[in-house]
């Protein structure tokens, strides 16, 4: 786990400075959800949502 944490601590900075995660676009209001998510999850308005990522 320590090996993975060291990797993630470095990679998070790399990803934050890169373009792959579309962070600038997201901050500007882009909806980053894929059509798959929107279609299969449906309307989540007013729901309490817990999102998990790595």
Partner 1 sequence: MSQELHLDATFLRSDLYTLPNVLQAAGEFDIVYTSYGVIGWLPDLQPWGQIIAHYLKPGGFFYFAEGHPFMWVFDEKSPDFKLGYPYFSREPIRDESSGTYAEKDAHLQHTATYGWNHPLSEIFEALLSAGLRIDFFHEHQFCAWECLPDMEEGEDRLMRFKDLKKRELIPLMFSLKATRKGEVP
Binding residues for partner 1, per CB under 8 A?
3-4, 6-7, 9-11, 14-15, 18, 20-21, 27, 34-37, 40-41, 44, 47-54
Least distance (Å) between residue 44 CB and partner 1 = 6
Least distance (Å) between residue 3 CB and partner 1 = 5
CA distance 46 to 48: 7
Least distance (Å) between residue 40 CB and partner 1 = 6
CA distance 11 to 33: 22
HSE, side-chain direction, 13 A CA sphere, residue 20: 7
């Amino acid at each position: 786990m320590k090996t993975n944490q060291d990797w993630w601590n470095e990679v998070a900075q790399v990803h934050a400075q890169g373009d792959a995660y579309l962070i600038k676009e997201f901050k500007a209001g882009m909806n980053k959800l894929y059509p798959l998510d929107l279609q299969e999850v449906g309307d989540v308005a007013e729901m309490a949502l817990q999102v998990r990522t790595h």
